Chains A and B, each alone.
Chain A
Amino acid sequence: MQINRLNHGGNIDRNQVLSFQFNGMTYQGYQGDTLASALLANGVNVVGRSFKYSRPRGIMTADAQEPNAIFQIGTNASTIPNPRATQTPLYDNLVASSTNGWPNVEFDMMAGIGKLGGAMMPPGFYYKTFMYPQSMWMNYEKLIRKGAGLGRSPMTADPDRYDTMHHHCDVMIIGGGVAGIMAALNAAQTGANVIICDEQEQLGGQTLSSTETVNDITATQWLSQQIEQLRKQENILVLSRSTTFGYYDHNLIGINQRCTDHLGEHVPHSTRQRVHKVRAKQIVLATGAHERPLVYGNNDIPGCMLANAISTYIQCYAVIPGNKLVLMTTNDSAYQAAIDWHDAGRQVMAIIDTRPKTDSAIIQQAQNKGINIIFSHAVIEVQGSKRVNSVNIAPINNTGDNVIGPAINIVCDTVASSGGWSPVLHLSSHLGQKPLWRDDIIGFVPGQNDLLNCGAVSGKYALLSVIEDGIATGGKAAELSGFERLTDLPIPDIIPQITAAPMALFHVPHIQTTSRAPKQFVDYQNDVTAAAIELANREGFESIEHVKRYTALGFGTDQGKLGNINGIAITAKSLAKTIPETGTTIFRPMYTPTTMGALAGAHVKQLFAPARFTAMHQWHLQHGAEFEDVGQWKRPWYFPKNGESMQQALLRECLATRNSVGILDASTLGKIDIQGKDAREFLNRIYTNAWSKLGIGKCRYGVMCKEDGMIFDDGVTSCINDHHFIMTTTTGGAAGVLQWLELWHQTEWPELEVYFTSVTDHWTTMTISGPNSRKVLQKVCQDDVSKQALPFMSWIDATVAGVKARIFRISFTGELSFEINVPANLGLSVWQHIMDAGAEFEITPYGTETMHILRAEKGFIIVGQDTDGSVTPQDLDMNWVISPNKSFSCIGKRSWDRIDTKRNDRKQMVGLKAKDTNQVLPEGAQIVLDPQQKLPMTMVGHVTSSYFSACLGYSFALALVKSGTSRYGETVYLPQANGQIYEAEICSPIFYDPKGERQHVE
């Protein structure tokens, strides 16, 4: 039974009945309802329990301010925590539950604890109560979290899709009330591209519930015409159900559009929410104003609502949320709620106007309807528990500080209050602007003039002035973005109403002092009362930012919507300051909670990060490779056969390469084509060694250092001709190295004639390595690849398997080794021919792990594994790679003369042999000299690479150890977290073929 549903009116479709569940009960509403309006229609009073005191709470507002009806919407994987029911469109079979008040809101097990705890929970409660003993904090936290509620994240993968769209426009208008609509229309008629967004289900804002007359038709009819015009205009993009959550530098705003949330919990094959990132030439805030409640005793009992919310529910949803209304107001606008209530046929008990007797058109209107108006009074206290059952009203003085007479009781079930309006200036605050207080409108407005805003957000509330402001601001925005503003849209005819001035009242006085009076809530979501704010002030928290943190006023998902101005006013009063002196806290993004899904967008699952593939990836997949991420590349890690373990596969791959031939996909190595007559000179400056005499057809290994003398990349560079070199870099370092070369060329040495072009993706590189590698190569290549024609560290142009190739005789394994480079379009094809040719030698594909083992056996470093940006070539005992006599210095050279880099107790690279030859020392393990030393022990180094060697028959490691090169033969210790201590002997880092006979083989 929708007991509070009116038979007529509202923007709902009574033919479309929707069923929904709230806290396990089934109700019905109509298409066009929000969850909040449907709950009110069904007479649901209690929708949650409060955060700290566990008090029953009902729906208070009809907009983004809602502090109580914050629900868990949906089930299982698609559930969303914390949407406001006031902004949640109803759909069939919607499931919602309170985020607070377990196990149910009607009978709350926490209530007893809450009431008791509440008394013990003053502001600053966390800091005071749960500080000691510190070890208990984790337990306290669990208790608090469970009690506090506020939603839960889904525990399973999100079935929905989200994405992002980028826009560029001339004029972005935030807010689709009448100010925003008129601004959009007027800006668009100049030819400007306009985007307008609005967070509610329907465009129109407050005007949707207006009863005024515009151009001789009702305001809502006139509004419909404007909206129709808006949608027709080709250069206006209208985003509805779209919340601007943040306003960022350089005119960027973030908007979250709820695309399907109004259709159902999960709508297959569609985007659930879409983030629009809009870069605009001009941004107009038309965000409107929020009505401010008054702060009075027990103002949180269900049935206490904002006056304007009552009008909205009656006008837009045909829902009247009670039977007997008492309205308390400081201003004219709230009278509309009483008039609407009266016109809907239910009883208005009284309008309690806090102002001394005054007169205006709307007061007249109320009087003419026979509504009882009591001036100079206030509702000082409400009675009831799960619903209001009466109020106490009392006379107050003209400034609203004191009760000046006895209270009388009025029976009612609904209390509407209005303390005036607060412009919604949150977005203006995101950029750090300080809001400006205006006494005439009793509210803050956006602070600076360079920000365009119109309508209620700039303190204009009368319909006529809102329309005028919207038109003027839209025109100005178009003009500022470069369009010619000829004639503005005409101003419609509206008869101005005679109004009476509002009264500045925030905190309603009580007969008793604030601390003794019934609780007067300021921030409902965080359970902050007027007494708590005064207490915080008394305890010395005077800055509004400190008051906020001590009391939690305006924290979390609330971001100071409903309670902030009242909290500031109470602080100002208790400190005897003015409101502008007290100032506001900073509002931050998100304006309302935004789902993680929306922010992640489509960058999830296999699109989480780009994966790069080589030309042979399909082959690797077909041959069972396990993959390793190297930078963004998917590189084969190892190729297990017949259910081998990783270790078994590695032993097999290593032995096959050392004894016959292995093949590695090395395409991911960075390759940079360097051309120009100064290429050699450039290499001289970038690399530590000399390049002036590298002959055509020769290759050379080099390391690059940053200015601090520390190694940051290495690789082999080959001379194609005197003006042409090809550089290889580490896989992960490729982009950084190209950037580094460009940086030095463009900023320091532009006079050098040299061009760099990345050819990483162009060349597929396959390395065949091992004693039989030449035999395999000779089967697919007729060119002379003998030692004479192709000695170690040289390269030739050749034809491999019918494809023009470059063959480099370089070795990262220490074996006879050829790196064959072919254009990647033919990479897979050539790879297959080589595999066929190698079959008789049991050519064995190997991955990065075997490559690591084989190179470590030779003591070849991997930059980034054996170095960490704090290692010089000298630390690696690589003086041979430094050419001291170059005519132009090289990058890093000067730093090797620093006292620190000349120390002889720097960490230097060594080999380690574990005493237990089967024990693979953990990479990263710290090394100490004295295992008996008490903690903290003196650590002299760490393991950088560690493997078991199939060829050597024992485990070995590379390590950086202080003064390591002079410690060969010494025993060191590696204490483990479990108390075990490994022993190892320091040795040369070259374990295998120290003379290099194998790679130089005939």
Chain B
Amino acid sequence: MSNNYINSPASPLAHTNLAQLAKQHSNVTAGINFRELMLLGHLILRGNANDPAFLNGAQQSLQLALPITPCSSSKNSDYLVFWLSPNEWLIICQQETFAQLTAQLTDNLVGHYALVDVSSAQTIIELSGDEVINLLKKSTSYNTNPDHFTIGKVVTTTFAQTSATIYKAESQRFLLVTRRSFTDYIWIWIQQASQEYGLKILPPAKALE
């Protein structure tokens, strides 16, 4: 029996060969740029936002305060943290720092909390470009007006006929956290909805920036 298995992790969009498409698109300019931020660490943190000990434990582990205002986010060079619900956060990091993060949280958190690895359950689609708001308007009924959907805001809402967690990184750059099994549907949807604006595939990245 051999222990030398070669295992190559595959994102839910592996079959679409984004890297190859990106090569073909290298000279294209388009209203929408599409990039998968793939194979990152995704950790769900559950806990009581009214418990100072919990918040302290999280802050020590992340070197970052948990966002406790609804639909807000926080970030530093290692972590991007999304408020998902009053007792639920999504922490995104490089896969390499994931084990360390989990260990630190386990060490620092006390009482009733939960950590759940969902790294394989979802991926991130970065959408940017001049027409990105129009693409969102075609895809979600959520209010995307700049005075309402402000930079740093994160909402989990409808996207076409499924859902996505949508984070506004810059005025014309958004991150969509999509569920693995629905990602192919969303990929087809985005291709279809961006036809009139032009779609440029960028090389997939394994980092947040």
B-binding residues in A (CB < 8 A): 161, 163-169, 193, 269-271, 277, 279, 602-603, 606-607, 609-615, 617-618, 633, 673, 675-677, 753, 755, 757-764, 778-780, 782, 801-803, 823-830, 833
CB distance from B52 to the nearest CB of A (A): 17
For residue B141, CB closer than 8 A to chain A, the reply is: yes
For residue B143, CB closer than 8 A to chain A, the reply is: yes
Q: Do residues B185 and A611 form an inter-chain contact, with CB atoms below 8 A?
A: yes
A-binding residues in B (CB < 8 A): 1, 3-12, 15, 39, 44, 46, 87, 112-114, 116-122, 134, 137-138, 140-145, 148, 160-162, 179-182, 184-185, 188-189, 192-193, 195-196
Q: Do residues B118 and A757 form an inter-chain contact, with CB atoms below 8 A?
A: yes
Contacts of A802 in B (CB 8 A): 3-5, 7
Contacts of A271 in B (CB 8 A): 196
Contacts of A606 in B (CB 8 A): 188
Q: Do residues A168 and B160 form an inter-chain contact, with CB atoms below 8 A?
A: no
Contacts of A824 in B (CB 8 A): 12, 120-121, 180
6 closest A-B pairs by CB? A802-B5, A762-B121, A612-B181, A761-B121, A675-B114, A823-B120
Q: Do residues A761 and B181 form an inter-chain contact, with CB atoms below 8 A?
A: yes
- Give the residue of B6, B122, B160 whose beta carbon is less than 8 angstroms from that of A607: B160
- Chain A residue, CB-CB nearest to B148: A168
Contacts of B162 in A (CB 8 A): 610
Interface centre among A166, A764, A830 (most CB of B within 10 A): A166
Q: Do residues B7 and A829 form an inter-chain contact, with CB atoms below 8 A?
A: yes
Contacts of B182 in A (CB 8 A): 610, 612
CB distance from B189 to the nearest CB of A (A): 6
Q: Do residues B193 and A602 form an inter-chain contact, with CB atoms below 8 A?
A: yes
Q: Do residues B116 and A607 form an inter-chain contact, with CB atoms below 8 A?
A: no
Q: Do residues A610 and B161 form an inter-chain contact, with CB atoms below 8 A?
A: yes
Q: Do residues A761 and B114 form an inter-chain contact, with CB atoms below 8 A?
A: no
- Chain B residue, CB-CB nearest to A837: B1
Expressed in whole angstroms, the Cα–Cα distance for A423 and B120 within the complex equals 59
Contacts of B142 in A (CB 8 A): 166
CB-CB under 8 A for A277 and B196, given A168-B148, A633-B181, A757-B114: no
- Chain A residue, CB-CB nearest to B136: A166
CB distance from B207 to the nearest CB of A (A): 16
CB-CB under 8 A for A166 and B7, given A606-B188, A610-B162, A676-B114: no
Contacts of A163 in B (CB 8 A): 138, 193
- Chain A residue, CB-CB nearest to B7: A829
Q: Do residues A825 and B9 form an inter-chain contact, with CB atoms below 8 A?
A: yes
Q: Do residues A833 and B5 form an inter-chain contact, with CB atoms below 8 A?
A: yes
Contacts of B122 in A (CB 8 A): 761
Q: Do residues A757 and B180 form an inter-chain contact, with CB atoms below 8 A?
A: no
Expressed in whole angstroms, the Cα–Cα distance for A829 and B44 within the complex equals 25
- Chain A residue, CB-CB nearest to B3: A802
Expressed in whole angstroms, the Cα–Cα distance for A603 and B158 within the complex equals 14
- Give the residue of A270, A676, A757 whose beta carbon is less than 8 angstroms from that of B116: A757
Contacts of B15 in A (CB 8 A): 617-618
What are 12 A-B contacts with C-beta separation under 8 Å?
Answer: A168-B148, A602-B138, A603-B160, A609-B161, A613-B184, A673-B116, A757-B46, A761-B118, A803-B7, A826-B10, A827-B120, A829-B9
Q: Do residues B112 and A270 form an inter-chain contact, with CB atoms below 8 A?
A: no
Q: Do residues A166 and B137 form an inter-chain contact, with CB atoms below 8 A?
A: yes
Contacts of A675 in B (CB 8 A): 46, 114, 116
Expressed in whole angstroms, the Cα–Cα distance for A826 and B120 within the complex equals 8
CB distance from A821 to the nearest CB of B (A): 11
- Give the residue of B134, B141, B185 whose beta carbon is less than 8 angstroms from that of A612: B185
Expressed in whole angstroms, the Cα–Cα distance for A271 and B1 within the complex equals 58
Q: Do residues B114 and A270 form an inter-chain contact, with CB atoms below 8 A?
A: no
Expressed in whole angstroms, the Cα–Cα distance for A453 and B72 within the complex equals 39
Interface centre among B44, B118, B144, B148 (most CB of A within 10 A): B118
Q: Do residues A825 and B11 form an inter-chain contact, with CB atoms below 8 A?
A: yes
Expressed in whole angstroms, the Cα–Cα distance for A837 and B55 within the complex equals 48
Q: Do residues B189 and A607 form an inter-chain contact, with CB atoms below 8 A?
A: yes
- Chain B residue, CB-CB nearest to A779: B1
Expressed in whole angstroms, the Cα–Cα distance for A698 and B15 within the complex equals 37
Contacts of B3 in A (CB 8 A): 782, 802
- Give the residue of B10, B44, B87 whose beta carbon is less than 8 angstroms from that of A825: B10
Contacts of A676 in B (CB 8 A): 112, 114
Q: Do residues B137 and A825 form an inter-chain contact, with CB atoms below 8 A?
A: no
Q: Do residues B120 and A277 form an inter-chain contact, with CB atoms below 8 A?
A: no
- Give the residue of A603, A755, A759, A825 whose beta carbon is less than 8 angstroms from that of B39: A825
- Chain A residue, CB-CB nearest to B11: A825
- Give the residue of B9, B141, B143, B193 whose beta carbon is less than 8 angstroms from that of A826: B9
Interface centre among B117, B121, B184 (most CB of A within 10 A): B121
- Chain B residue, CB-CB nearest to A618: B15
Expressed in whole angstroms, the Cα–Cα distance for A607 and B137 within the complex equals 17
Expressed in whole angstroms, the Cα–Cα distance for A365 and B112 within the complex equals 87
Q: Do residues A614 and B181 form an inter-chain contact, with CB atoms below 8 A?
A: yes
- Give the residue of B10, B138, B196 whose beta carbon is less than 8 angstroms from that of A615: B10
Q: Do residues B145 and A166 form an inter-chain contact, with CB atoms below 8 A?
A: no
Q: Do residues B112 and A759 form an inter-chain contact, with CB atoms below 8 A?
A: no
Q: A607-B192, A609-B161, A761-B180 are in contact. List 14 more A-B contacts (CB 8 A).
A: A165-B137, A168-B145, A602-B138, A607-B189, A613-B184, A755-B46, A755-B87, A755-B112, A755-B114, A762-B121, A779-B1, A802-B5, A824-B180, A825-B10
Expressed in whole angstroms, the Cα–Cα distance for A675 and B47 within the complex equals 11
- Give the residue of A617, A759, A778, A780 whose beta carbon is less than 8 angstroms from that of B118: A759
Q: Do residues B196 and A270 form an inter-chain contact, with CB atoms below 8 A?
A: yes
Contacts of B119 in A (CB 8 A): 762, 823, 825
- Give the residue of A757, A778, A801, A829 whose beta carbon is less than 8 angstroms from that of B10: A829
Contacts of B192 in A (CB 8 A): 602, 607
Q: Do residues A166 and B141 form an inter-chain contact, with CB atoms below 8 A?
A: yes
Expressed in whole angstroms, the Cα–Cα distance for A779 and B196 within the complex equals 52
Contacts of B189 in A (CB 8 A): 602, 607
Q: Do residues B116 and A759 form an inter-chain contact, with CB atoms below 8 A?
A: yes
Contacts of B114 in A (CB 8 A): 673, 675-676, 755, 757
- Chain B residue, CB-CB nearest to A270: B196
Expressed in whole angstroms, the Cα–Cα distance for A279 and B138 within the complex equals 14
Q: Do residues A610 and B185 form an inter-chain contact, with CB atoms below 8 A?
A: yes
Interface centre among B120, B121, B162, B181 (most CB of A within 10 A): B181
Expressed in whole angstroms, the Cα–Cα distance for A906 and B124 within the complex equals 51
Expressed in whole angstroms, the Cα–Cα distance for A227 and B195 within the complex equals 30
- Chain B residue, CB-CB nearest to A800: B5
Contacts of B5 in A (CB 8 A): 780, 801-803, 829, 833
Expressed in whole angstroms, the Cα–Cα distance for A801 and B121 within the complex equals 20
- Chain B residue, CB-CB nearest to A609: B161
Expressed in whole angstroms, the Cα–Cα distance for A279 and B140 within the complex equals 13
Expressed in whole angstroms, the Cα–Cα distance for A980 and B181 within the complex equals 45
Contacts of A755 in B (CB 8 A): 46, 87, 112-114
CB distance from A698 to the nearest CB of B (A): 21
- Give the residue of A279, A610, A833 whose beta carbon is less than 8 angstroms from that of B160: A610
Contacts of B6 in A (CB 8 A): 829
CB distance from B95 to the nearest CB of A (A): 9
Interface centre among A163, A167, A755, A778 (most CB of B within 10 A): A755
- Chain B residue, CB-CB nearest to A724: B114
- Chain B residue, CB-CB nearest to A824: B120
- Chain A residue, CB-CB nearest to B116: A757
Expressed in whole angstroms, the Cα–Cα distance for A943 and B204 within the complex equals 52
Contacts of A166 in B (CB 8 A): 137-138, 140-142
Contacts of B117 in A (CB 8 A): 762, 823
Contacts of B185 in A (CB 8 A): 607, 610-612
Contacts of A830 in B (CB 8 A): 7
Q: Do residues B118 and A762 form an inter-chain contact, with CB atoms below 8 A?
A: yes
Expressed in whole angstroms, the Cα–Cα distance for A753 and B195 within the complex equals 48
Expressed in whole angstroms, the Cα–Cα distance for A753 and B111 within the complex equals 10
Contacts of B4 in A (CB 8 A): 802
